[in-house]
């Protein structure tokens, strides 16, 4: 009886060593290749966007199609960090300009960007620094846009600001300008009122992409089986976080008066 158990155990070990283990190594290698390919695709995509300073629907769709070649399903997160500069008034206690008593930033201004300091109006657009102990400066704020906000621009076919005429501007309400306005775009071929819109960024902004596979690979399933972790969920075999600084603003050089 003991000899039979030993034979069965030896057969199982042999099957694992000579059959399952080589298969597992082969599928592990396949996952490594998928990771390397996904890294290259993501790297090229981010470099293309940051070198041009904009993202189009065609560029994004090509990125998705290329990732599909790795035979994985991905959760994709995009982020654009924009640098915004706003006027700020520093009110000092006296004319020595050593101790600040009050800081008035853009969020405290009225719709016309005027401030009331000691009964006098200050307007950063025209100066108006009639108070001796007031200094005009600027603060930088970081505004973050996620993939939902970015894709809303790419998937919206409404007329962008660059295609508006004088009458359109005249009738456009300031309150109706969206948080993430669509500025650049061109007509889609064969249409008269549908536009392919571009997501534009400024030089110095940051653009990044995070991709992570959500499907279970064969290597993951085999690993969970060998380690009795079948309920461990999906192990992420591909996780890539890549970003860069926007270098150019090539959308300013494109001709939006024609379709292409």
For the chain, strand residue ranges (E) read 54-55, 74-92, 100-104, 115-117, 120-122, 134-146, 184-187, 195-200, 206-213, 239-245
Number of domains the chain is built from: 2
Domain boundary among 141, 156, 180: 141
**Closest Cα partner for 179 from 80, 245, 113?**
80
Q: Give 85's pLDDT tier (boundaries 50, 70, 90).
A: confident
Which residue is it, tokens 């640098």? 83
Cα-based torsion angle of the residue sequence 87, 245, 200, 172 in order, rounded to the nearest 10 degrees? -10
Residue 130 has what pLDDT?
47
- Predicted TM-score of the model (pTM): 0.73
155 and 215 both lie in a single domain: yes
The set of residues, in sequence order, having a beta carbon less than 8 Å from that of 179 and lying 6+ positions away, is 149
The set of residues, in sequence order, having a beta carbon less than 8 Å from that of 174 and lying 6+ positions away, is none
137 and 88 both lie in a single domain: yes
**Residue 21 in domain:** no
The string of pLDDT tens digits covering residues 202-244 is: 999 999 999 998 887 756 666 565 665 555 555 677 899 999 9
Question: Quick check: 156 and 118 in contact, CB under 8 A?
Answer: no
DSSP one-letter string for 169-181? HHH--GGG--SS-
Q: Is the pLDDT of residue 106 over 60?
A: no
Residue 13 has what pLDDT?
61
The string of pLDDT tens digits covering residues 1-51 is: 556 555 665 555 655 565 565 655 655 777 777 889 999 999 999 999 999
Characterise 127 by phi-psi region: left (phi > 0), alpha (psi -120 to 50), beta (else).
left
**Residue 12 in domain:** no
66 and 189 both lie in a single domain: yes
Residue 151 has what pLDDT?
95
Q: What's the alpha-carbon Rg for the chain, to the nearest Å?
A: 29
Residue 229 has what pLDDT?
58
Residue 83 Cα distances to 103, 107, 158, 162, 200, angstroms: 20, 16, 26, 22, 13
Domain extent for 77: 30-83+143-253
Q: Give 127's pLDDT tier (boundaries 50, 70, 90).
A: very low
**Residue 16 in domain:** no
**147 or 168, which is more confident?**
147
Q: Residue 199 pairs with which residues in a beta bridge?
A: 55
Characterise 68 by phi-psi region: left (phi > 0), alpha (psi -120 to 50), beta (else).
alpha
Residue 83 has what pLDDT?
87
**Residue 208 in domain:** yes
Q: Is the pLDDT of residue 163 over 90?
A: no
**25 or 178, which is more confident?**
178
Question: Quick check: 124 and 135 in contact, CB under 8 A?
Answer: no
| Average of per-residue pLDDT across 50-57 | 96
């Amino acid at each position: 009886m003991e000899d039979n158990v030993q034979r069965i155990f030896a057969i199982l070990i042999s099957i694992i060593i000579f059959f399952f283990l080589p298969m597992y190594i082969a599928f592990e290698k396949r996952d490594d290749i998928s990771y390397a390919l996904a890294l290259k695709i993501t790297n090229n995509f981010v470099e293309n966007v940051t070198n041009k300073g904009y993202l189009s629907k065609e560029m994004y769709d090509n990125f998705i199609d290329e990732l599909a070649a790795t035979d994985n399903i991905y959760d994709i997160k995009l982020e654009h960090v924009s640098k915004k500069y706003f006027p700020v008034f520093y009110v000092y206690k006296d004319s020595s300009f050593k101790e600040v008593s009050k800081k008035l930033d853009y969020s405290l201004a009225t719709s016309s960007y005027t401030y009331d300091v000691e009964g006098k109006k200050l307007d950063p657009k025209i100066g108006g620094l009639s108070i001796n102990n007031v200094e005009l400066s600027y603060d930088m704020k970081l505004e973050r846009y996620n993939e939902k906000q970015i894709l809303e621009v790419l998937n919206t076919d409404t007329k962008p600001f660059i295609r508006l005429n004088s009458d359109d501007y005249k009738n456009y309400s300031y309150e109706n300008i969206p948080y993430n306005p669509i500025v650049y775009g061109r007509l889609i071929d064969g249409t008269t009122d549908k536009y392919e819109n571009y997501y534009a960024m400024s030089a110095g902004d940051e653009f990044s992409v995070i991709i992570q596979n959500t499907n279970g690979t064969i290597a993951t399933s085999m690993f969970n089986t060998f380690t009795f972790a079948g309920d461990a969920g999906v192990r992420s075999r591909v996780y890539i976080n890549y970003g860069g600084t926007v270098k150019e603003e090539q959308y300013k050089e494109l001709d939006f008066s024609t379709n292409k």
